[in-house]
Every structure is written in C-alpha cells, then in structure tokens.
A and B are shown apart, each in its own frame.
Chain A
Amino acid sequence: MRQSLIILAKDLRQRTRDSTLLVFGVVLPLGLAFLFNLMLGGGERRLEARYAVADLDRGTVAQEFVTQVLEPLRAAGDVTIRPVAGAEEGRRLVGDKAVDAVFVIPAGFSAAMQQGRPTALEIVGGADSAVAVQVAREIAQGYANERRMVQLAVTVAGGQATDRELIERAAAAPRPLELAEDSATQRRQLDSTTYYSAGMAMFFLFFVTMMSVTSIFDERREGTLARLLVAPITRRAILLGKSLGGVLVGVLSMVILITVSTLALGADWGNPLGVAALAVAAVLAATGVTAAVATFARTTEQASNRLSVIAMVLGLFGGALFPIAQLEALSFVSVLTPHHWFLQGLGDLAGGSLAVVVVPVLMLLGFAVTGGALALHRLGRMLHW
C-alpha cells in the first residue's frame, strides 16, 4: 500500500503540472452543462416575458383584466407589465425590442363586454419573441374563455348579459375541475441545471479517470515502467497506485463541479451525504470500468481511443447527454450504464430520504468491483514488457 501511495503522490504531482486534467475535469463539464441547460433546459426555465398594456378604454372590465389577470403574473415574478399611453407607443417598444408584446385594450372594450357586444383584445408581438407572444395570446384567450363561460351561464339562467348580480354569481362559482400535479413525478426529477451538471460530471469523469489509468502506457512509452517493474513492488501495487490516482482526481473533480455548479449555475444536488455517497461510488465505477477497458489496449493512443468510444456510448445511453429514459425503447439499455444509476440516485434523492441512494450506490459499486476484478485478472497483459 505504501508504494501505491508513493506512485499516487508522484502521479498527482505530474497531474498538477498538466492543464489537460483541469480542462476535462472542470472546464468542459461546467461549460457544457451551462450550454446544455441553455439549449435544452427551456421547459423548466421561468418565463421572463416583458409586456406592455395600452389601456385605451380605462373602463372597469379593462381594469379587471389588468388587475386580476396580468397583475398576479407580475406579482409572481413571471412577467413585467409596463403601462403605455397608446397603441403606437406599444408598437414602438415592440419594434425596439423593449417589450415582447403589447396588449391593446380598445376604447369601448368595457362597455361592449358588459353589454354582450363583440369586441377585440389586440396583441402586438415582436417577431423575435415567439414564446412570450404565444403566452400573451394564451393569457388573452384564457380571459376571453372565462368571460364566455360567464356569459353562457347568465344566458342559461335566463338573465340578461347586463345582469350584474348574475354575472358576479356565475364568475364566483367554484371550478369543477382543477389540474393536479403528480407529486411523485416531481419528486423523482432533477431540474435541468442539476441534471446537465450531473450528466456532464459523470460523462467527463470517465475521461478524468482514463488519464490516470492510461498513464501506465505513458510510463511504458517513456521507459519508466521498466524501472517500476524492477523496483521491489508488486504489479498490483502499480495498478492500485494508478487507480487511486484516478479515484482521487475523480473525487476532486466531482467536488469542484458540484460546488461550482451549485454556486454559479444554481444547481440543487440534494442531501450532501447522499450526493457524496453517489459521487464516490460513481468515481469508483468509472475507475473500475476504465481500468478494465485499458487492459485490452497496448498503447496510450489505443487505450484513449477505446475508452473515449466507451465513455461516449455509456454517456449517451446512460442519459448523461440528454434524458434517454424518456425514450422507452432505449430505457432498458440505460440501466446497463453507471451514468443511469448516478442520475437516478440523484433524482430519487431530490425528493426522497437518504435511503433512496442505497440501490444506485450498490449498482455503481457493482460496476466498480466487476471492472476492478477484470482489470486485476488481465493485469499481467497490461504490464507486460
């Protein structure tokens, strides 16, 4: 063990002088997590729409639309609402991209609504703000539908469109159906920032551990492996030292990624103990798998090429690059990858107790033990001269 630690210390000293590790261990995963989150995480981002309202009517219904429909959205922080004097100013702001869309409430809007006459609520949207404009349309349509329901209720009750009491009663009637969210599904999902941070961390973990494990081939190329083989240490101690390097660098990379993604990207990894258990198990799994694959190679280039392909395939099918579990046909393949168990463990941890990580951790350790055993079995071939 002592000699393994000496090899580990030497390898770490060399790694600190090589910026490649920093690139693969921290910069690339963080950068790609940020980009993936930007590109693919839109479904979970809060809408940040900027609207203007041109109230040319200033009647009660117009004010009701502003105060009871738009104001709650503003209060929730989803949108900004900016009153403007007229439609022209609203159009100008849209043209300047100062707002995404403008609600134009025409003069006579309130009177028409109260008397049951047709009227229109105009939406002027910017060409570059498709989502915000669509949301504005949905807001207006939703309000129109609600007004239509009230009107129908009053009509069916035999009243007049102007019958104030009937209108208020119809509007106050409780909704027979509310959309309920599946709390179980919520609990088992990571937000997109955390998902892509974790996915990228796991994806690049294989490259980080690869650098340590394949350094055996670098030792052979540089001739230093001969000296290690002549030194009074066992061949297992050499592999252990190299693997420990992979584990330590992998854990360090994970710690940095988790910390930085939390502080800079706003990722929410969950219970620190559970995350630590999953991260260490993931590092061990990656080290075991890379060590096993490396024993089938003869040179650094050969090992790097094979391991890169394996890392890509595992990352792809494991859901590190996108949530593959959503593709039913491939989800069963996903369970054969360490990435799946790492991401599932984090997902479960997001809404569950610490105990939910036990199965993912055991599965990850299974990869570590299987890979490590295969690597040990083929050690002679790897350290041949």
Chain B
Amino acid sequence: MPLLEVTGLRKSYGEHIAVDDVSFAIGVAETYGLLGPNGAGKTTSISMIVGILDRDAGEVVIAGQPHDVTSVKTKELIGYVPQEIALYRDLSARENLRFFARLYGLGGRALKTRIEEILEVVGLSDRADERVEGFSGGMARRLNIGVGLMNRPKLLVLDEPTAGVDPQSRNAILESVERLADEGVAVLYTTHYMEEAERLCDRVGIIDQGRLRVEGTRRELVGLVGETDRVTLQADGDLARAVRDLAELSQLKQVSSGEGQIEVLVSDARALLPLILETVAGSGVQVRTVQVHEPDLESVFLHLTGKALRD
C-alpha cells in the first residue's frame, strides 16, 4: 500500500488553473520528485497534499486514511519543509524546535533527546541557544529542515529546500534526504534542479502549467526521448533568429533558447554539430561554449514541453 496517494488534484484561482488533475503515489522508503520550472504548480500541489490549502477536487490519502485541511491524525505522519524559511526569528534554534515538537505531542526526556539529535543532524549544536535572526542563510535553511524532522515523519515533504543555498549546505541537505530515505521515510521532493531530482529520486513526476506531464524512474523517462543528445550552446547575439534558423533544419528534433543559451535535441550530436554551429554562425550569433549531454531529465523536460527547466 502506498504511503501517499494523490488522485485528481485540482486547484484554480478564478480563471487560472494552478493544478489540474494531478495524480501520483509514493511508497514507503521511496523518494518521489516533482520536477518543474517556477510557477509549474509544485508548491500549490504540495500545499494541498500537506493540508494547508483546500482543494477544488481530488483526493489525498495518507497511510490509507483520507487527508484534508481538517485532518489531525494523518498530519502526525507528515514532516513539512516549506520553500521559505519558516522559523521564529526572535526565538533560538532550540526554542523553535521545542515549540514545533510540542505541537506534535513530544515532551519530557524524549523531547530533549530529540532536540539534541536534530541539532546534531543539522549541525547547529553549538549555536542552539542563539536566536535565529543572527543565523546565516545556510544555517537557517538547515534548521528549517530540522523542524520538519522533529516528529520522525513517515512522509517528509520538502518544497525546494535548496533554493538559495550555498553549494556546501546544499550537499548537506541532499545527504540528509538520502539518509532519511534509507531509514524508510517516504519523501516528496519538489525542485527545478534536474541534478537534484536525478540524484535523489527513485521516481520523478514532471509537472508543467499545473499538469503532471509524465512520471516514472529516470531510466523510464529518459527512454521517452530515445537516443537523443542535448546540445547546449552558450552564445551572444540574436538568439531568437538563430533558433528560427535552426528550427528549419529537419535533422533537429527540438530547439529552444533562454538565458543566453540555445538548447538543441538531436539524435546524433557528434555528426550534426558542424551543421548546427554553421547555422548559428550564419545567424550572426557568436558561440562561446558548446556542451553535448547524454539524454537526461532536462532533455525529457525539453522534449515534453518545448522549453528548458529554468525558463
């Protein structure tokens, strides 16, 4: 039995449909990634799943029990790490942990022990009694995750936990998530970083414009784009014109541009690279670097949506 089952989730704000018919399931000890660009509907989906936000339609079942904003029992199973740092800045790290832990019914010696464990995990034992307002961004981000772990959740929901984090803290966070998954926690992880999804997730759902476009293991998803290579050109000049010129080449599967780069999906990058470079040069664009990637989740996203993840 899956620990989390989401069926037909839907949420709209007026005419705008934020989440449309999203369904997926996560098993015990499984890490599931919701991969999509900013504004794709990841946070709205998660908010409905954890019980912050009312849904227009659909069903959420946690450990076999229906779950919504009014549920209390099922919320005991959830650990939630919001995208923004959600801490009381005028309280110390220890006071923050104690407050949230007590809401989950922890008390006495068990509470003290758990607080020390979490402080150790997030590396803040020596700063435990300092107010959060004096913490660096990375420290606050680690504590933000620590709060979500206080109740020993069966389902840990992390909403872009590495957004705005330095590489060292990011690696520590990813290692923590891997460790939790090894301990049997089901993890729902949203990100727009393809590398994180590839590293952490057993299965990935690709979400765009509120719809879950496809889900599966990395191998299954990459298989969707076949033997397709992704060529990334860092370039200066009229990229839109270069994209138009490239799109006229029938040998290319997909062309897109954004943030000073052009991305091209091709079946054989090695053979077609000269033609690509010649076409781009003919468009008056100066190429600074060229990268050829084996098929990955970025390729899948580009293949499915026609745009890059970071667009």
Contact = CB atoms under 8 A, between A and B. Distances in A.
A227 B100 contact: yes
B80 A226 contact: yes
A230 B52 contact: yes
Nearest to A18: B90
Contacts of A13: 91, 95
Given A6-B99, A385-B47, A385-B52, A223 B75 contact: no
B84 interface: yes
Q: Which of the listed residues A229, A233, A235 has the most CB atoms from chain B within 10 Å of its own CB?
A: A229
Interface string B95-123: 10001101111000000000000000000
Interface stretch (B65-73, B163-171, B180-188, B239-247): B65-73
Nearest to B78: A230
Contacts of B100: 227, 231
Q: Which of the listed residues A18, A230, A234 has the most CB atoms from chain B within 10 Å of its own CB?
A: A230
Interface residues of A, number: 23
B53 interface: yes
Contact of B82 (A7, A14, A227): A227
Given A17-B90, A232-B72, A6 B102 contact: yes
A224 interface: yes
Contacts of A385: 47, 52-53
A222 B91 CA distance: 13
A226 B102 CA distance: 16
A148 interface: no
Nearest to B105: A232
A231 B86 contact: no
Contacts of A222: 86-89
Contacts, number: 69
Given A14-B91, A232-B73, A232-B76, A226 B86 contact: yes
A229 B86 contact: no
A297 interface: no
A6 B106 CA distance: 12
A14 B87 CA distance: 12
Nearest to B71: A232
Interface in A112-140: none
Nearest to B72: A232
A164 B73 CA distance: 102
Contacts of A227: 80, 82, 86, 100, 147
A42 B103 CA distance: 54
Contacts of B86: 222-224, 226-227
Interface string B43-77: 00001001111100000000000000110110110
Given A6-B103, A385-B47, A229 B95 contact: no
Interface residues of B, number: 31
Nearest to A227: B86
Given A13-B91, A222-B88, A3 B103 contact: yes
A384 B76 CA distance: 20
A231 B53 contact: no
A222 B86 CA distance: 6
Q: Which secondary structure dominates chain B's binding surface?
A: loop
B163 to A, nearest CB: 13
Contacts of B99: 6, 10
Nearest to A218: B88
B149 to A, nearest CB: 13
A228 interface: yes
Nearest to A228: B103
B174 interface: no
A229 B82 contact: no
Contacts of B105: 232
Contacts of B103: 3, 6-7, 228, 231-233
A224 B81 CA distance: 11
Contact of A230 (B50, B70, B87): B50
Contacts of B88: 10, 14, 222, 224
Interface string B279-311: 000000000000000000000000000000000
Contact of B69 (A10, A223, A229, A232): A229
A14 B69 CA distance: 27
Interface string B258-279: 0000000000000000000000
A266 B210 CA distance: 67
Contacts of A10: 88, 91, 95, 99
A229 B51 contact: yes
B214 interface: no
B234 to A, nearest CB: 36
Nearest to B147: A227
B173 interface: no
Nearest to B50: A230
Contacts of A14: 88, 90-91
A230 B51 contact: yes
Given A18-B90, A231-B103, A223 B51 contact: no
B25 interface: no
B85 interface: yes
A7 to B, nearest CB: 8
A177 to B, nearest CB: 69
Nearest to A229: B52
A41 to B, nearest CB: 40
Contact of A234 (B50, B54, B72, B89): B72
5 contacts: A10-B99, A14-B88, A230-B75, A232-B103, A385-B47
Given A3-B103, A222-B88, A223-B85, 5 more contacts: A14-B91, A224-B88, A226-B47, A227-B82, A227-B100
Q: Which 8 A-B pairs have the closest CB atoms?
A: A223-B86, A232-B75, A223-B84, A231-B103, A230-B80, A232-B76, A385-B52, A229-B52
